[in-house]
Amino acid sequence: MSDQPTTDATVASITPEALKDRIDEPDGDVFLLDVRSESDFAEWRIEGAETVNYPYFELLDGIPEALAEQLPEDRQITVLCAKGGSSEMIAENLQEAGYDVDHLERGMKGWARIYEYQELDVDADATVAQYRRPSSGCLAYFVADGDEAAVIDPLRAFTDEYVQDARALGVDLTYALDTHIHADHVSGIRALAAETGATPVLPEAADDRGVEYDREYETVGDGDTITVGDTDIEVLHTPGHTTGMTAYKVGDVLFTGDGLFTESVARPDLEDPDAAKDAARTLYESLQEQVLPLPDDTVIAPAHFSESATANDDGSYTAELGDLVDRMDALTMDEEPFVEFIVKGMPPRPANYEEIIAANLGREAPDDETAFELELGPNNCAASEEAMTD
């Protein structure tokens, strides 16, 4: 889709952060006109607001009657596109037609830059915080104790945020851990190592996929422990989503990566689509042997959330294990029904997932902007959510 900027802007703009605040207000009344192509809109969009999609190229000659019938005359309209240029032009046309309108600065690329930090109220001696990326549903975690800290599942695009937060808390980043080889975003463990001297950490089984990093890193296996200050990070190998999928436990918090979410379980086909059924059986064993025996009040802290996930009052995405067992059908199924259920109706694979995996294995080295472009869109790392929960 063309995204041409105008040279004489006369329409108001809104930052992605301000738009997110408006959407999050309890009585927020946000109306969006998304002028990207229908395919782009279908792939990913801004959730939580009333939205009409009408492609930009159909608006070049004015406002069609079909669209005018859908636009409110008594509410503000925010126009958005991919990068912010086309939306500005369309917003100007709407303003000239008498609508109350603004446009989203930097479009969906700007929306993808939003990153939120929330400290979690959990039973751990360490400070545990969750990072949220609303555009893709990616979650990462900051664990700090004493003068040391670790980041779990960091995104390369937000390296500066982790560094700034460590500085604000007066701690040194000593570890950067991945739960597995991600397929939806470019990992930040090497970027953090380069920026801070933190030690990159990968699960042993993830390393077995043929990692080719240009710097030293450590590997961990089931039963190992990493120490941050006086806090132990316990390592639990939980394969299924990938062969290397690993969870980390701090106090009553289990960072499950892509093995278990608050609304679904992992999809088993991103590492080897031809072995999806075998991977689903492995996932069943991991859940039954490593995760479900934990206490019911164990806090499940996943690496992603989807639009069907329900946020906590503080905006975070966590849930107690016992609650998930009560409402998630997949966690109480026998093995064969579980396998059949998980492999059927899986959603589309994440955009550019093969290139992202190659980058995270160290086989490709995209620059920062290319890496950011690769991961635009939803994560799609969960199994189908149809009938997943009661």
Query: What is the DSSP code string of 300-334?
Result: EEESB--TT----TTS---EEHHHHHHHBGGGGS-
Distance CA 56, CA 53 (A): 9
Distance CA 247, CA 153 (A): 11
Q: So what's the architecture of 116-374 in CATH?
A: 4-Layer Sandwich (3.60)
Look at residue 6 and tell me whether its pLDDT is greater than 80: no
- Lowest mean pLDDT across 38-47, 136-145, 316-325, 338-347: 338-347
Look at residue 2 and tell me whether its pLDDT is greater than 50: no
Q: What is the mean pLDDT of residues 103-121?
A: 97
* One-letter amino acid for residue 319 of the chain: A
Distance CA 356, CA 371 (A): 8
Q: Which pLDDT score, from 0 to 100, does residue 8 have?
A: 52
Residue 388 confidence class, pLDDT cut points 50, 70, 90: low
Domain 12-111 has CATH 3.30.2130.10: no
Look at residue 176 and tell me whether its pLDDT is greater than 80: yes
Q: What is the mean pLDDT of residues 247-260?
A: 97
Q: Which pLDDT score, from 0 to 100, does residue 381 have?
A: 84
Q: What is the mean pLDDT of residues 186-201?
A: 98
Residue with tokens 């902007």: 369
Look at residue 3 and tell me whether its pLDDT is greater than 70: no
* One-letter amino acid for residue 368 of the chain: D
Q: What is the mean pLDDT of residues 158-162?
A: 98
Q: Which pLDDT score, from 0 to 100, does residue 26 have?
A: 84
What is the total residue count of the chain?
390
Q: Which pLDDT score, from 0 to 100, does residue 390 have?
A: 46
Share of the chain above pLDDT 70, in %: 96
The SS3 of residue 256 is strand
- Lowest mean pLDDT across 55-59, 61-65, 189-193, 383-387: 383-387
Name the residue ranges covered by the structural domains of the chain.
Answer: 12-111, 116-374
Look at residue 204 and tell me whether its pLDDT is greater than 70: yes
Distance CA 296, CA 312 (A): 18
Active site residues: 81
**Starting from the edge strand earliest in sequence, which strands make up the sheet with 77-80, in order?**
12-14, 101-104, 77-80, 31-34, 50-53
